[in-house]
Amino acid sequence: MKVTFLGTGTSQGIPVIGSHHPVCLSDNPKDKRLRVSILLQWDEFTYAVDCGPDFRQQMLRAKVERLDGLLLTHEHNDHIAGLDDIRPFNFRQGDLPFYAEDRVFSALKHRFAYIFETVNKYPGAPAIIENVIDKNTVFTLGGKKIIPVEAMHADLPVLGFRVDDFAYMTDVKTISTTERNKLRGLKVLVLNALRIKPHESHLNLDEAMEMVNDLKPETVYFTHISHLLGFHDEVESQLPKGVHLAYDTLKITV
């Protein structure tokens, strides 16, 4: 399976608008981060996790011509605001399957009501197929078993996903023992690490490392990174063996 990091930034992205922070002014491409998302590809199948405000740019940059579906972690803006930009996929291939919790679909129906109209729907509006999942819903996509893993984003439950020996967990603050057990024996774990100082709803670097030391995956990539974590190359050089900062356009094979 090939994993492409479409975006590795926090909700504001890097650079932050109007910021003069040194990381925001960096010339290193690895310090330029779009909103967080990944692409999963195996055999002839392609799935994206989340569709934030940079979704169109990410699809163009990754030269994605077909999507077999979209998995949503939760309903915050940096994970769903690009929903309208699925339309080119609709025009070429029809309604696009979405996989999310019922609460997330309710939020989409509130924010994107025109998509879900049943009477006089605008013919160019996006079209999705609702597949309601939760932390107990193990399902199959393209012949692979998808295991949802619940985490807490402050007091909001969010989903990550395990596929084979790969797992993607973002916007995590805590994970229960039961859900952590779904993350044992991983070859690759992608986990958020927002910044150095503690944050009320995201793991900081020390907390992320504590979780890594508990789960003991073979390799780790941190994502959902803010400018307050520091320069990519400097932070990367200080991480232990097998632990890395992800960056936009990074491709790995699991």
CB neighbours of 102 closer than 8 A, spacing ≥ 6? Answer: 132, 134
pLDDT of residue 234: 98
Measuring CA to CA, how many Å separate 121 from each of 89, 114, 250? 18, 7, 39
Kindly tell me the burial class for residue 60, based on how many C-beta atoms sit within 10 Å of its own C-beta (0-12, 13-18, 19 or more): exposed
| Beta partners for residue 48, in sequence order | 39, 70
Give the model's pLDDT for residue 151: 98
pLDDT at 120: 85
The pLDDT of residue 122: 87
Could you tell me the end-to-end alpha-carbon distance of the chain, in angstroms, rounded to an integer? 5
Peptide bond into 15 cis (omega under 30): yes
Q: Taking residues 72-76, what's their average pLDDT?
A: 98
Q: Which of 206, 189, 194, 202 is nearest to 158 (CA)?
A: 202
- 6: number of CA atoms within 13 Å, CB side? 27
Domains observed in the chain: 2-253 (3.60.15.10)
Q: In this predicted structure, which of 115-119, 193-197, 239-243 has the lowest mean pLDDT?
A: 115-119
Q: How far is the C-alpha of 39 from the C-alpha of 57, rounded, in Å?
A: 13
In the block, residue with structure tokens 């990754």: 62
Q: How confident is the model at residue 123 (pLDDT cuts 50, 70, 90)?
A: confident
Look at residue 244 in the predicted model and tell me its pLDDT. 98
Residues 139-187 have pLDDT tens digits of: 999 999 999 999 999 999 999 999 999 999 999 999 999 999 999 999 9
